[in-house]
């Protein structure tokens, strides 16, 4: 009986040691378990932030947003404070300066267009008399069937003042031919005159080139 009582007393320290060992073994396992979930979270953060540059490329900034971003990234010294009146004065000055630049640019373009070759086939009109200024036109006779009347086609080519495109216009007029000199296909010059009939406001000045 004494031996049986001594055996449990000897086995108790072994169970205590065995119970202490798992506690020591489990202690370092807890920080490893706590570190494991942190790593995927760190890996997921860049993955979620990666599409941000792609969205920025797909949606370009508006001019207002670009100016705002430029002002926010400015690192230089701050300028003097301005009142609303100062800002309004600066805007007015800028507008007047731009208007002056536009006027100068238009004047230079007008000078270039005046110095270029004329786009219209009609020559410069003759010097009018001192008492009155009459228009002179050059065109081609398209019809000479009526007596003392010819139909003249006026072809005008000019450059558009703003867009620079060559614009072609065609008009016809009736001219008085007293001697029936002009025939169909002739190149003639007509001058403006008083009303001679319901449709005639021009008369034949000369035949420049006869039709072949």
Highest mean pLDDT among 6-15, 53-62, 175-184: 175-184
**pLDDT tens string 2-43:** 455 555 555 554 544 444 554 444 545 454 444 544 544 445
Q: What does residue 179 show for φ and ψ, rounded to 5 degrees? A: -105, 5
**pLDDT tens string 161-177:** 999 999 999 999 999 99
Q: Domains in the chain, ordered, with CATH?
A: 136-209 (2.40.50.140)
- The pLDDT score that the predictor gives to residue 195 is 95
CA 209 to CA 170: how far, in whole Å?
20
pLDDT band at 114 (very low <50, low <70, confident <90, very high): confident
Residue 157 contacts by C-beta under 8 Å, 6 or more apart in sequence? Answer: 119, 120, 121, 166, 167, 168, 169
Helical ranges in the chain per DSSP H: 2-49, 51-58, 63-72, 84-115
User: Whole-model pTM?
Assistant: 0.39
Closest CA to 140 of 150, 128, 154, 156: 154
């Amino acid at each position: 009986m004494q031996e049986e009582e001594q055996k449990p007393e000897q086995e108790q320290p072994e169970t205590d040691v065995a119970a202490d060992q798992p506690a020591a073994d489990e202690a370092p396992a807890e920080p490893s378990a706590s570190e494991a979930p942190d790593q995927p979270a760190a890996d997921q953060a860049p993955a979620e932030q990666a599409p941000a540059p792609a969205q920025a490329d797909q949606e370009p900034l508006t001019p207002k947003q670009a100016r705002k971003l430029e002002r926010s990234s400015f690192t230089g010294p701050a300028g003097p404070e301005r009142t609303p009146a100062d800002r309004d004065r600066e805007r007015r000055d800028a507008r007047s300066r731009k208007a002056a630049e536009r006027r100068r640019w238009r004047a230079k373009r007008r000078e270039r267009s005046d110095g270029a070759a004329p786009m219209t086939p009609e020559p410069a009109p003759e010097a009018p008399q001192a008492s009155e200024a009459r228009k002179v036109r050059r065109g081609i006779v398209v019809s000479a069937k009526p007596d003392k009347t010819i139909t003249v086609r006026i072809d005008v080519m000019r450059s558009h003042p703003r867009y620079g495109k060559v614009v072609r216009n065609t008009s016809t007029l009736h001219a008085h031919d007293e001697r029936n000199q002009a025939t169909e296909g002739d190149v003639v010059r007509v001058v403006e005159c008083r009303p001679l009939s319901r449709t005639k406001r021009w008369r034949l000045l000369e035949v420049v080139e006869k039709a072949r």
